[in-house]
Structure 1
Amino acid sequence: MSTTQNERLRGLLEPLVAEFQLDLEDLEIDTVGRKRVLRVVVDSEDGVDLDACAELSRAVSETLDENNAMGDGAYELEVGSPGAERPLKELRHFERAVGRLMRARLTKEAGGEEIVARILKVDDEGLDTEVQGVKGRKAKPRRLGFGEIERARVEVEFNRKNDETETKGEEA
């Protein structure tokens, strides 16, 4: 999707998404065969359920049609959440992931390694983590500045035990 179209769609949809108390995380247009697919990714502090996605999808569809924002050609609209292994890019993403494991690729200046760490605390400069031990070793605390993280995403835990690091009463 061109930057201009992306900015135009974002400008049109961001206020609408905010009315639903959601954050617009991403917009993407793909061409699949002869049809176009517009993917709208939203999230919130408490996550996004299926009913909220369906309700928002109807509102987005009406807005796009009223404004002819997708032009005259046919398109398919998909509205969803970032998913279980969501990328962590913005401060709010890291804040929402406190207590969760993340897999992060560090910048070359920070060692260039890939780590798996539990996010313990987040502030404006970075995060306090507990890096998982390898081969039975104990986890170690590590402070990471946001500038040291090349990319990061939530790591799915299937056998997560409830403990004091959980802040929102999430179950395993």
Structure 2
Amino acid sequence: MKKNIIIVFIMVLLLIVDNSILPFLSIRGYYPSLLLVFTIFIALLSEKNEAVLFGVSSGILQDIYFNGIMGINGISNLLICLLSYYVGRSIFKEKYVMPTLTCLILSLIKGCIVFLIGMAVGMKVQYKNIFVVALYNYVIALATYKLIYKLYIVKSEKNYWKY
């Protein structure tokens, strides 16, 4: 329970960084989503119920901040985190190649989900953003996966091996 509260707190901090600092570090107006990368990795490493919790939590946080349709990020992050959980069950999480490629693919899928829902309800969504942001997320994923993995797994293993 304590771990989940800490993760949700980190998500709130990443949302703040995503929307206050990263726009100043953008390249041609594009910047990554630290919150999405973190959420994908945590869902990849966690159990199914936690993946759902973190997906919905991060999506609701994004929906609260962004104008538009309430629930679009909640639904898309839920689906992305479920996919991340299922992928995480079948890959070697100790290596960084597959988890980071998973982050790239899931970032593309999330962009497509948001694009399709946005188009269905008449929102103006640029498809070019999907590819650039996914690549940017991939770069961030390459730089952060080992840290997130160590923080998440080491804490879990310490509790597991207590006598």
TM over 0.5: no
Higher helix residue share: 2
Higher strand residue share: 1
TM-score, reference length from structure 1: 0.29
* Greater Rg by CA: 1
TM-score, reference length from structure 2: 0.30
